[in-house]
Structure 1
Protein backbone atom coordinates (compact mmCIF):
# COMPACT_ATOMS: atom_id res chain seq x y z
CA UNK A 1 0.00 0.00 0.00
CA UNK A 2 1.37 3.38 -0.97
CA UNK A 3 1.71 5.93 1.82
CA UNK A 4 -0.35 9.10 2.06
CA UNK A 5 1.15 12.39 0.86
CA UNK A 6 3.27 14.03 3.52
CA UNK A 7 2.10 16.59 6.04
CA UNK A 8 4.64 19.10 4.71
CA UNK A 9 1.98 21.10 2.86
CA UNK A 10 0.66 24.34 4.26
CA UNK A 11 -3.05 24.46 4.92
CA UNK A 12 -5.39 26.08 2.41
CA UNK A 13 -5.81 28.99 4.82
CA UNK A 14 -2.05 29.50 5.13
CA UNK A 15 -1.64 29.44 1.36
CA UNK A 16 -4.49 31.91 0.90
CA UNK A 17 -2.96 34.26 3.49
CA UNK A 18 0.31 34.40 1.51
CA UNK A 19 -1.23 35.52 -1.77
CA UNK A 20 -4.50 36.54 -3.34
CA UNK A 21 -3.90 34.10 -6.18
CA UNK A 22 -5.86 30.84 -5.87
CA UNK A 23 -3.93 27.57 -5.89
CA UNK A 24 -4.28 25.93 -9.33
CA UNK A 25 -6.73 23.04 -9.22
CA UNK A 26 -4.19 20.41 -10.25
CA UNK A 27 -1.70 21.51 -7.57
CA UNK A 28 -4.48 21.58 -4.99
CA UNK A 29 -5.33 17.98 -5.85
CA UNK A 30 -1.66 16.97 -5.87
CA UNK A 31 -1.14 18.36 -2.36
CA UNK A 32 -4.62 17.19 -1.22
CA UNK A 33 -5.74 20.65 -0.13
CA UNK A 34 -9.34 20.46 1.10
CA UNK A 35 -12.06 21.79 -1.18
CA UNK A 36 -13.71 24.43 0.99
CA UNK A 37 -16.41 25.00 -1.62
CA UNK A 38 -17.80 21.48 -1.17
CA UNK A 39 -20.85 21.32 1.13
CA UNK A 40 -23.10 18.51 2.28
CA UNK A 41 -22.26 14.83 2.52
CA UNK A 42 -18.72 13.60 1.79
CA UNK A 43 -18.32 12.53 -1.80
CA UNK A 44 -18.29 8.79 -2.57
CA UNK A 45 -15.18 9.38 -4.67
CA UNK A 46 -12.12 11.52 -3.98
CA UNK A 47 -8.64 12.09 -5.39
CA UNK A 48 -6.99 9.68 -2.97
CA UNK A 49 -9.27 6.80 -3.86
CA UNK A 50 -8.87 7.38 -7.60
CA UNK A 51 -5.08 7.58 -7.46
CA UNK A 52 -4.71 4.53 -5.23
CA UNK A 53 -6.85 2.49 -7.60
CA UNK A 54 -4.70 3.64 -10.54
CA UNK A 55 -1.46 2.74 -8.74
CA UNK A 56 -2.78 -0.70 -7.82
CA UNK A 57 -3.87 -1.24 -11.43
CA UNK A 58 -0.42 -0.24 -12.73
CA UNK A 59 1.29 -2.55 -10.22
CA UNK A 60 -0.85 -5.48 -11.40
CA UNK A 61 -1.03 -4.92 -15.14
CA UNK A 62 1.52 -2.23 -16.09
CA UNK A 63 1.12 1.41 -16.97
CA UNK A 64 -0.37 0.57 -20.37
CA UNK A 65 -3.50 -0.70 -18.63
CA UNK A 66 -4.10 2.60 -16.84
CA UNK A 67 -6.75 4.68 -18.57
CA UNK A 68 -9.39 6.91 -17.01
CA UNK A 69 -12.06 4.52 -18.26
CA UNK A 70 -10.35 1.47 -16.76
CA UNK A 71 -9.74 3.16 -13.42
CA UNK A 72 -13.37 4.30 -13.31
CA UNK A 73 -14.54 0.78 -14.10
CA UNK A 74 -12.36 -0.62 -11.32
CA UNK A 75 -14.01 1.76 -8.85
CA UNK A 76 -17.52 1.16 -10.15
CA UNK A 77 -17.99 4.66 -11.57
CA UNK A 78 -18.23 6.19 -15.02
CA UNK A 79 -15.29 7.87 -16.68
CA UNK A 80 -17.03 11.24 -16.43
CA UNK A 81 -17.23 10.87 -12.64
CA UNK A 82 -13.42 10.90 -12.46
CA UNK A 83 -13.03 14.32 -14.08
CA UNK A 84 -14.06 16.16 -10.91
CA UNK A 85 -11.08 14.57 -9.15
CA UNK A 86 -8.53 14.15 -11.97
CA UNK A 87 -8.37 16.64 -14.82
CA UNK A 88 -6.66 14.46 -17.41
CA UNK A 89 -4.65 11.29 -17.96
CA UNK A 90 -1.40 13.27 -17.70
CA UNK A 91 -2.50 14.67 -14.35
CA UNK A 92 -3.38 11.15 -13.22
CA UNK A 93 0.15 10.03 -14.10
CA UNK A 94 1.63 12.85 -12.02
CA UNK A 95 -0.61 11.98 -9.09
CA UNK A 96 0.30 8.29 -9.40
CA UNK A 97 4.01 9.03 -9.57
CA UNK A 98 3.97 11.14 -6.43
CA UNK A 99 1.89 8.67 -4.44
CA UNK A 100 3.89 5.60 -5.50
CA UNK A 101 7.19 7.35 -4.83
CA UNK A 102 6.27 7.68 -1.18
CA UNK A 103 8.02 9.75 1.49
CA UNK A 104 11.73 10.40 1.09
CA UNK A 105 14.01 8.16 3.15
CA UNK A 106 15.79 9.41 6.23
CA UNK A 107 19.33 9.76 4.92
CA UNK A 108 20.68 12.51 7.17
CA UNK A 109 24.44 12.26 7.48
CA UNK A 110 27.19 14.14 9.23
CA UNK A 111 28.40 17.38 7.55
CA UNK A 112 30.91 16.52 4.86
CA UNK A 113 29.39 13.09 4.22
CA UNK A 114 27.56 14.22 1.10
CA UNK A 115 28.75 11.18 -0.90
CA UNK A 116 27.20 8.78 1.60
CA UNK A 117 23.98 10.79 1.59
CA UNK A 118 23.63 10.91 -2.19
CA UNK A 119 24.55 7.23 -2.48
CA UNK A 120 21.83 6.26 0.01
CA UNK A 121 19.39 8.54 -1.80
CA UNK A 122 20.12 6.95 -5.18
CA UNK A 123 19.79 3.40 -3.88
CA UNK A 124 16.52 4.27 -2.10
CA UNK A 125 15.11 5.79 -5.29
CA UNK A 126 16.15 2.73 -7.28
CA UNK A 127 14.34 0.52 -4.78
CA UNK A 128 11.12 2.46 -5.42
CA UNK A 129 11.53 2.06 -9.17
CA UNK A 130 12.06 -1.69 -8.74
CA UNK A 131 8.96 -1.91 -6.52
CA UNK A 132 6.89 -0.05 -9.14
CA UNK A 133 8.50 -0.88 -12.53
CA UNK A 134 6.11 1.45 -14.36
CA UNK A 135 7.40 4.53 -12.51
CA UNK A 136 10.45 5.22 -14.73
CA UNK A 137 8.23 4.72 -17.80
CA UNK A 138 6.06 7.73 -17.00
CA UNK A 139 6.59 10.84 -19.14
CA UNK A 140 8.27 13.77 -17.40
CA UNK A 141 6.38 16.97 -18.16
CA UNK A 142 8.18 19.34 -15.82
CA UNK A 143 10.03 19.76 -12.52
CA UNK A 144 8.84 17.99 -9.35
CA UNK A 145 5.67 19.50 -7.88
CA UNK A 146 4.12 16.96 -5.53
CA UNK A 147 4.66 16.61 -1.77
CA UNK A 148 6.57 13.36 -2.05
CA UNK A 149 8.72 14.40 -5.01
CA UNK A 150 9.57 17.69 -3.28
CA UNK A 151 10.43 15.67 -0.17
CA UNK A 152 12.90 13.58 -2.20
CA UNK A 153 14.38 16.77 -3.65
CA UNK A 154 14.78 18.19 -0.16
CA UNK A 155 16.48 15.01 1.07
CA UNK A 156 19.06 15.12 -1.72
CA UNK A 157 19.68 18.85 -1.19
CA UNK A 158 20.25 18.21 2.53
CA UNK A 159 23.05 15.83 1.59
CA UNK A 160 24.71 18.72 -0.25
CA UNK A 161 23.85 21.44 2.27
CA UNK A 162 27.31 21.68 3.85
CA UNK A 163 29.09 22.11 0.52
CA UNK A 164 30.03 25.45 -1.05
CA UNK A 165 28.03 24.72 -4.18
CA UNK A 166 25.43 27.21 -5.40
CA UNK A 167 21.78 26.30 -5.84
CA UNK A 168 21.99 25.79 -9.60
CA UNK A 169 24.85 23.32 -9.20
CA UNK A 170 23.09 21.44 -6.41
CA UNK A 171 19.91 21.10 -8.43
CA UNK A 172 21.93 20.01 -11.46
CA UNK A 173 23.61 17.28 -9.40
CA UNK A 174 20.29 16.01 -8.06
CA UNK A 175 18.86 15.94 -11.60
CA UNK A 176 21.90 14.04 -12.88
CA UNK A 177 21.70 11.39 -10.15
CA UNK A 178 17.94 11.10 -10.66
CA UNK A 179 18.39 10.60 -14.40
CA UNK A 180 21.00 7.91 -13.82
CA UNK A 181 18.73 6.02 -11.44
CA UNK A 182 15.74 6.38 -13.76
CA UNK A 183 17.53 5.32 -16.94
CA UNK A 184 19.39 2.48 -15.24
CA UNK A 185 16.13 1.15 -13.79
CA UNK A 186 14.36 1.47 -17.14
CA UNK A 187 17.18 -0.32 -19.00
CA UNK A 188 17.19 -3.15 -16.45
CA UNK A 189 13.45 -3.54 -16.83
CA UNK A 190 13.58 -3.55 -20.63
CA UNK A 191 16.35 -6.15 -20.70
CA UNK A 192 14.46 -8.30 -18.21
CA UNK A 193 11.32 -8.09 -20.36
CA UNK A 194 13.34 -9.04 -23.44
CA UNK A 195 14.71 -12.16 -21.70
CA UNK A 196 11.29 -13.43 -20.72
CA UNK A 197 10.57 -16.70 -22.47
CA UNK A 198 14.22 -17.44 -23.26
CA UNK A 199 14.86 -19.35 -20.04
CA UNK A 200 18.22 -17.58 -19.72
CA UNK A 201 19.46 -15.26 -17.00
CA UNK A 202 21.34 -12.05 -17.79
CA UNK A 203 24.77 -13.66 -17.40
CA UNK A 204 23.91 -16.39 -19.94
CA UNK A 205 22.49 -13.82 -22.38
CA UNK A 206 25.70 -11.79 -22.15
CA UNK A 207 27.83 -14.89 -22.69
CA UNK A 208 25.87 -15.81 -25.83
CA UNK A 209 26.06 -12.22 -27.04
CA UNK A 210 29.83 -12.04 -26.58
CA UNK A 211 30.45 -15.41 -28.22
CA UNK A 212 28.32 -14.55 -31.26
CA UNK A 213 29.92 -11.15 -31.80
CA UNK A 214 33.43 -12.55 -31.30
CA UNK A 215 32.85 -14.75 -34.35
CA UNK A 216 31.39 -11.96 -36.46
CA UNK A 217 33.57 -8.93 -35.75
CA UNK A 218 36.64 -8.58 -37.99
CA UNK A 219 39.67 -7.60 -35.86
CA UNK A 220 41.27 -5.88 -38.87
CA UNK A 221 38.45 -3.40 -39.39
CA UNK A 222 37.08 -3.16 -35.83
CA UNK A 223 40.12 -3.97 -33.67
CA UNK A 224 38.90 -2.57 -30.34
CA UNK A 225 35.45 -4.15 -30.64
CA UNK A 226 37.03 -7.51 -31.58
CA UNK A 227 39.34 -7.35 -28.57
CA UNK A 228 36.40 -6.47 -26.33
CA UNK A 229 34.30 -9.46 -27.40
CA UNK A 230 37.27 -11.79 -27.05
CA UNK A 231 37.96 -10.55 -23.52
CA UNK A 232 36.85 -12.30 -20.27
CA UNK A 233 34.16 -9.63 -19.80
CA UNK A 234 31.59 -11.66 -21.73
CA UNK A 235 33.04 -15.09 -21.00
CA UNK A 236 32.66 -14.65 -17.22
CA UNK A 237 30.14 -11.85 -16.63
CA UNK A 238 29.27 -10.86 -13.04
CA UNK A 239 26.28 -12.49 -11.32
CA UNK A 240 24.27 -9.26 -11.37
CA UNK A 241 25.53 -7.10 -14.26
CA UNK A 242 22.67 -4.62 -13.91
CA UNK A 243 23.50 -3.86 -10.28
CA UNK A 244 27.20 -3.56 -11.10
CA UNK A 245 26.53 -1.18 -13.98
CA UNK A 246 24.28 0.96 -11.78
CA UNK A 247 26.87 1.23 -9.00
CA UNK A 248 29.69 1.92 -11.47
CA UNK A 249 27.77 4.75 -13.12
CA UNK A 250 26.71 6.21 -9.79
CA UNK A 251 30.27 6.26 -8.46
CA UNK A 252 31.50 7.98 -11.63
CA UNK A 253 28.89 10.70 -11.10
CA UNK A 254 29.85 11.07 -7.44
CA UNK A 255 33.52 11.37 -8.43
CA UNK A 256 32.54 14.24 -10.70
CA UNK A 257 30.60 15.87 -7.85
CA UNK A 258 33.68 15.53 -5.63
CA UNK A 259 35.79 17.30 -8.24
CA UNK A 260 33.22 20.12 -8.49
CA UNK A 261 33.10 20.53 -4.71
CA UNK A 262 36.89 20.58 -4.51
CA UNK A 263 37.06 23.27 -7.18
CA UNK A 264 34.80 25.51 -5.05
CA UNK A 265 36.76 25.01 -1.83
Structure 2
Protein backbone atom coordinates (compact mmCIF):
# COMPACT_ATOMS: atom_id res chain seq x y z
CA UNK A 1 0.00 0.00 0.00
CA UNK A 2 1.50 3.26 -1.05
CA UNK A 3 0.69 6.54 0.55
CA UNK A 4 -0.11 9.48 -1.66
CA UNK A 5 2.30 12.37 -1.49
CA UNK A 6 0.55 15.61 -0.69
CA UNK A 7 0.38 17.87 -3.73
CA UNK A 8 0.95 21.58 -3.72
CA UNK A 9 -1.55 23.48 -1.66
CA UNK A 10 -4.33 24.94 -3.76
CA UNK A 11 -4.44 28.71 -3.46
CA UNK A 12 -7.36 30.01 -1.55
CA UNK A 13 -9.68 32.33 -3.29
CA UNK A 14 -9.08 35.60 -1.48
CA UNK A 15 -11.38 38.52 -1.09
CA UNK A 16 -11.25 41.00 -3.94
CA UNK A 17 -9.21 44.11 -3.28
CA UNK A 18 -11.29 46.65 -1.45
CA UNK A 19 -12.62 49.43 -3.63
CA UNK A 20 -11.36 52.88 -2.75
CA UNK A 21 -10.65 56.19 -4.47
CA UNK A 22 -6.94 55.45 -4.99
CA UNK A 23 -7.67 52.18 -6.78
CA UNK A 24 -10.37 53.78 -8.93
CA UNK A 25 -8.10 56.66 -9.91
CA UNK A 26 -5.15 54.38 -10.69
CA UNK A 27 -7.35 52.26 -12.94
CA UNK A 28 -8.75 55.31 -14.70
CA UNK A 29 -5.26 56.72 -15.31
CA UNK A 30 -4.07 53.40 -16.73
CA UNK A 31 -7.02 53.35 -19.14
CA UNK A 32 -6.44 56.95 -20.19
CA UNK A 33 -2.72 56.35 -20.73
CA UNK A 34 -3.50 53.45 -23.05
CA UNK A 35 -6.50 54.76 -24.96
CA UNK A 36 -7.08 58.44 -24.16
CA UNK A 37 -9.33 60.31 -21.76
CA UNK A 38 -12.58 58.90 -23.17
CA UNK A 39 -11.46 55.43 -22.18
CA UNK A 40 -11.62 56.50 -18.55
CA UNK A 41 -15.42 56.70 -18.46
CA UNK A 42 -17.17 55.51 -15.33
CA UNK A 43 -18.58 52.56 -17.26
CA UNK A 44 -15.16 51.42 -18.50
CA UNK A 45 -13.46 52.00 -15.17
CA UNK A 46 -16.17 49.98 -13.42
CA UNK A 47 -15.81 47.17 -15.97
CA UNK A 48 -12.04 47.09 -15.43
CA UNK A 49 -12.61 46.82 -11.68
CA UNK A 50 -15.46 44.30 -12.10
CA UNK A 51 -17.90 46.49 -10.18
CA UNK A 52 -21.00 48.44 -11.08
CA UNK A 53 -20.66 52.08 -12.17
CA UNK A 54 -22.91 53.16 -9.30
CA UNK A 55 -20.46 51.72 -6.79
CA UNK A 56 -17.84 54.25 -7.92
CA UNK A 57 -19.86 57.29 -6.92
CA UNK A 58 -19.49 56.55 -3.22
CA UNK A 59 -15.72 57.11 -3.57
CA UNK A 60 -15.28 59.75 -6.28
CA UNK A 61 -18.60 61.62 -6.21
CA UNK A 62 -19.02 62.24 -9.94
CA UNK A 63 -17.38 61.91 -13.34
CA UNK A 64 -15.92 65.40 -12.91
CA UNK A 65 -14.68 64.37 -9.49
CA UNK A 66 -12.88 61.40 -11.03
CA UNK A 67 -11.31 63.59 -13.73
CA UNK A 68 -10.07 66.07 -11.11
CA UNK A 69 -8.52 63.27 -9.06
CA UNK A 70 -6.94 61.74 -12.17
CA UNK A 71 -5.35 65.03 -13.17
CA UNK A 72 -4.00 65.82 -9.72
CA UNK A 73 -2.63 62.30 -9.27
CA UNK A 74 -1.09 62.16 -12.76
CA UNK A 75 0.70 65.47 -12.31
CA UNK A 76 2.23 64.33 -9.05
CA UNK A 77 4.49 66.65 -7.05
CA UNK A 78 6.61 69.26 -8.83
CA UNK A 79 10.36 68.78 -9.32
CA UNK A 80 12.82 70.29 -6.88
CA UNK A 81 14.00 73.50 -8.55
CA UNK A 82 16.84 75.90 -7.86
CA UNK A 83 16.80 79.33 -6.30
CA UNK A 84 17.62 81.59 -9.28
CA UNK A 85 14.26 82.52 -10.79
CA UNK A 86 15.01 82.04 -14.49
CA UNK A 87 16.54 78.53 -14.44
CA UNK A 88 13.98 77.60 -11.76
CA UNK A 89 11.06 78.56 -14.00
CA UNK A 90 12.70 76.75 -16.92
CA UNK A 91 12.88 73.58 -14.80
CA UNK A 92 9.28 74.13 -13.69
CA UNK A 93 8.10 74.44 -17.30
CA UNK A 94 10.17 71.51 -18.51
CA UNK A 95 8.77 69.40 -15.68
CA UNK A 96 5.23 70.09 -16.87
CA UNK A 97 6.19 69.19 -20.43
CA UNK A 98 7.54 65.87 -19.15
CA UNK A 99 4.25 65.18 -17.36
CA UNK A 100 2.25 65.89 -20.53
CA UNK A 101 4.49 63.54 -22.50
CA UNK A 102 3.78 60.81 -19.92
CA UNK A 103 0.03 61.50 -19.78
CA UNK A 104 -1.03 63.27 -23.02
CA UNK A 105 -4.72 63.09 -22.07
CA UNK A 106 -4.13 65.75 -19.42
CA UNK A 107 -4.29 68.41 -22.13
CA UNK A 108 -7.80 67.24 -23.03
CA UNK A 109 -9.13 68.32 -19.63
CA UNK A 110 -10.56 71.86 -19.81
CA UNK A 111 -9.09 74.46 -17.48
CA UNK A 112 -12.09 75.80 -15.59
CA UNK A 113 -10.42 77.75 -12.80
CA UNK A 114 -7.43 77.98 -10.48
CA UNK A 115 -5.83 74.80 -9.11
CA UNK A 116 -7.53 72.96 -6.25
CA UNK A 117 -5.83 69.60 -5.77
CA UNK A 118 -2.84 69.30 -3.47
CA UNK A 119 -0.42 68.40 -6.27
CA UNK A 120 -1.75 71.19 -8.50
CA UNK A 121 -1.34 73.63 -5.61
CA UNK A 122 2.18 72.31 -5.04
CA UNK A 123 3.06 73.10 -8.67
CA UNK A 124 1.61 76.58 -8.24
CA UNK A 125 3.58 76.99 -5.02
CA UNK A 126 6.80 75.94 -6.77
CA UNK A 127 6.24 78.46 -9.55
CA UNK A 128 5.59 81.25 -7.06
CA UNK A 129 8.59 80.19 -4.99
CA UNK A 130 10.81 80.55 -8.05
CA UNK A 131 9.87 84.24 -8.12
CA UNK A 132 10.11 84.76 -4.35
CA UNK A 133 13.30 86.84 -4.45
CA UNK A 134 11.99 89.20 -7.15
CA UNK A 135 10.08 92.39 -6.45
CA UNK A 136 7.08 91.26 -8.49
CA UNK A 137 3.76 91.54 -6.69
CA UNK A 138 1.40 88.59 -6.34
CA UNK A 139 -0.59 89.51 -9.41
CA UNK A 140 2.53 89.65 -11.58
CA UNK A 141 3.83 86.36 -10.19
CA UNK A 142 0.55 84.56 -10.81
CA UNK A 143 0.34 86.14 -14.25
CA UNK A 144 3.86 84.97 -15.13
CA UNK A 145 3.36 81.34 -14.14
CA UNK A 146 -0.08 81.30 -15.78
CA UNK A 147 1.42 82.45 -19.10
CA UNK A 148 4.27 79.94 -18.84
CA UNK A 149 1.93 77.08 -17.93
CA UNK A 150 -0.39 77.97 -20.81
CA UNK A 151 2.53 78.04 -23.22
CA UNK A 152 3.78 74.63 -22.09
CA UNK A 153 0.35 73.11 -22.56
CA UNK A 154 -0.33 74.65 -25.98
CA UNK A 155 3.17 73.94 -27.29
CA UNK A 156 2.77 70.29 -26.33
CA UNK A 157 -0.67 70.05 -27.98
CA UNK A 158 0.57 71.67 -31.20
CA UNK A 159 3.64 69.46 -31.39
CA UNK A 160 1.62 66.32 -30.68
CA UNK A 161 -1.01 67.13 -33.29
CA UNK A 162 1.58 67.82 -35.98
CA UNK A 163 3.49 64.67 -35.04
CA UNK A 164 0.29 62.61 -35.28
CA UNK A 165 -0.45 64.10 -38.69
CA UNK A 166 3.05 63.28 -39.91
CA UNK A 167 2.59 59.77 -38.58
CA UNK A 168 -0.66 59.40 -40.48
CA UNK A 169 1.11 60.55 -43.63
CA UNK A 170 4.16 58.40 -42.79
CA UNK A 171 6.47 61.37 -43.19
CA UNK A 172 9.26 62.84 -41.12
CA UNK A 173 9.12 66.51 -40.16
CA UNK A 174 11.71 67.27 -42.84
CA UNK A 175 9.60 65.52 -45.48
CA UNK A 176 6.42 67.32 -44.38
CA UNK A 177 8.15 70.70 -44.48
CA UNK A 178 9.60 69.92 -47.90
CA UNK A 179 6.08 69.24 -49.21
CA UNK A 180 4.86 72.44 -47.51
CA UNK A 181 7.71 74.44 -49.08
CA UNK A 182 6.90 73.12 -52.56
CA UNK A 183 3.13 73.60 -52.19
CA UNK A 184 3.31 77.20 -50.98
CA UNK A 185 6.00 78.11 -53.50
CA UNK A 186 3.51 77.39 -56.31
CA UNK A 187 1.16 80.11 -55.06
CA UNK A 188 1.16 83.74 -56.19
CA UNK A 189 2.91 85.42 -53.26
CA UNK A 190 3.34 88.82 -54.91
CA UNK A 191 1.05 90.46 -52.35
CA UNK A 192 2.82 88.74 -49.47
CA UNK A 193 6.41 90.00 -49.73
CA UNK A 194 7.63 88.67 -46.40
CA UNK A 195 6.22 85.21 -47.12
CA UNK A 196 7.75 85.32 -50.60
CA UNK A 197 11.16 86.20 -49.13
CA UNK A 198 10.83 83.49 -46.51
CA UNK A 199 10.18 80.77 -49.06
CA UNK A 200 12.74 82.16 -51.51
CA UNK A 201 15.36 81.59 -48.80
CA UNK A 202 14.27 77.94 -48.48
CA UNK A 203 13.71 78.50 -44.76
CA UNK A 204 11.93 75.18 -44.40
CA UNK A 205 14.40 73.18 -46.46
CA UNK A 206 16.67 72.07 -43.60
CA UNK A 207 15.44 71.07 -40.17
CA UNK A 208 17.03 69.01 -37.38
CA UNK A 209 15.65 65.58 -36.43
CA UNK A 210 12.04 65.64 -35.18
CA UNK A 211 12.78 65.37 -31.45
CA UNK A 212 15.54 67.99 -31.57
CA UNK A 213 13.32 70.31 -33.58
CA UNK A 214 10.46 70.05 -31.09
CA UNK A 215 12.77 70.60 -28.13
CA UNK A 216 14.44 73.55 -29.84
CA UNK A 217 11.12 75.19 -30.71
CA UNK A 218 9.93 74.72 -27.13
CA UNK A 219 13.11 76.20 -25.66
CA UNK A 220 13.01 79.17 -28.03
CA UNK A 221 9.41 80.02 -27.14
CA UNK A 222 10.05 79.57 -23.43
CA UNK A 223 13.05 81.89 -23.57
CA UNK A 224 10.93 84.57 -25.24
CA UNK A 225 8.46 84.38 -22.37
CA UNK A 226 11.21 84.36 -19.75
CA UNK A 227 12.71 87.46 -21.40
CA UNK A 228 9.35 89.12 -20.81
CA UNK A 229 9.37 88.03 -17.16
CA UNK A 230 12.92 89.37 -16.86
CA UNK A 231 11.77 92.76 -18.14
CA UNK A 232 8.96 92.78 -15.58
CA UNK A 233 11.42 91.85 -12.81
CA UNK A 234 13.72 94.73 -13.75
CA UNK A 235 10.80 97.16 -13.86
CA UNK A 236 9.61 96.01 -10.43
CA UNK A 237 13.07 96.66 -8.99
CA UNK A 238 13.13 100.29 -10.11
CA UNK A 239 12.26 102.79 -7.37
CA UNK A 240 8.97 104.51 -7.87
CA UNK A 241 9.20 108.28 -8.22
Q: Do 2:181 and 2:202's aligned partners in 1 also have CA atoms closer than 8 Å?
A: no
Count of paired positions: 219
**CA deviations over 1:94-133 (Å, ceiling 9, x no partner):** 1111101011100032xxx210100011111101101111
Question: CA shift at 1:232, angstroms?
Answer: 3.0
Query: Could you tell me how far apart the structure 2 residues matched to 1:120 and 1:220 are?
Result: 44
- Which runs of structure 2 are paired with 1:18-29 in the superposition (5 Å)? none
Alignment match of 2:203 (pick from 221, 233, 254) = 233
In structure 2, the residue matched to 1:120 is 91
Question: CA shift at 1:197, angstroms?
Answer: 3.0
Query: Could you tell me how far apart the structure 2 residues matched to 1:128 and 1:162 are?
Result: 27
In structure 1, the residue matched to 2:76 is 102
Are positions 1:160 and 2:140 aligned together?
A: no
Query: Could you tell me how far apart the structure 2 residues matched to 1:90 and 1:195 are?
Result: 33
Q: Do 1:211 and 1:229's aligned partners in 2 also have CA atoms closer than 8 Å?
A: no
- 2:114 match: secondary structure: coil
Q: Do 2:174 and 2:205's aligned partners in 1 also have CA atoms closer than 8 Å?
A: no
RMSD: 1.3
Query: Could you tell me how far apart the structure 1 residues matched to 2:225 and 2:157 are?
Result: 18
Query: Could you tell me how far apart the structure 1 residues matched to 2:189 and 2:78 are?
Result: 50
- Which runs of structure 2 are paired with 1:55-74 in the superposition (5 Å)? 55-74=29-48
Query: Could you tell me how far apart the structure 2 residues matched to 1:256 and 1:46 are?
Result: 45
Question: In terms of mean alpha carbon deviation, does 134-143 or 192-201 score higher?
Answer: 192-201
**CA deviations over 1:27-61 (Å, ceiling 9, x no partner):** xxxxxxxxxxxxxxxx9211111111000000111
- Which runs of structure 2 are paired with 1:61-210 in the superposition (5 Å)? 61-109=35-83, 113-210=84-181
Query: Could you tell me how far apart the structure 1 residues matched to 2:235 and 2:55 are?
Result: 56
Q: Do 1:86 and 1:92's aligned partners in 2 also have CA atoms closer than 8 Å?
A: yes
**What residue ranges of structure 2 are gaps of 5+ in the alignment?**
1-16
Q: Do 1:47 and 1:86's aligned partners in 2 also have CA atoms closer than 8 Å?
A: yes
Structure with the higher fraction of residues in helix conformation: 2
In structure 2, the residue matched to 1:252 is 224
Are positions 1:50 and 2:24 aligned together?
A: yes
- 2:168 match: secondary structure: coil
Query: Could you tell me how far apart the structure 1 residues matched to 2:216 and 2:179 are?
Result: 19
Query: Could you tell me how far apart the structure 1 residues matched to 2:82 and 2:86 are?
Result: 11
Query: Could you tell me how far apart the structure 1 residues matched to 2:35 and 2:190 are?
Result: 49
Alignment match of 1:243 (pick from 212, 215, 219) = 215
Bigger Rg, which one: 2
- 1:83 match: secondary structure: helix
**CA deviations over 1:137-175 (Å, ceiling 9, x no partner):** 211121111111111111111110000011111011010
Q: Do 1:203 and 1:241's aligned partners in 2 also have CA atoms closer than 8 Å?
A: no
Question: In terms of mean alpha carbon deviation, does 180-189 or 223-232 score higher?
Answer: 223-232
Query: Could you tell me how far apart the structure 2 residues matched to 1:55 and 1:124 are?
Result: 19
Q: Do 1:105 and 1:121's aligned partners in 2 also have CA atoms closer than 8 Å?
A: yes
Question: CA shift at 1:64, angstroms?
Answer: 2.1
Give the TM-score normalised by the residue count of structure 1. 0.79
Question: Structure 1 segments of 4 or more deviating over 3 A?
Answer: none
In structure 2, the residue matched to 1:11 is none
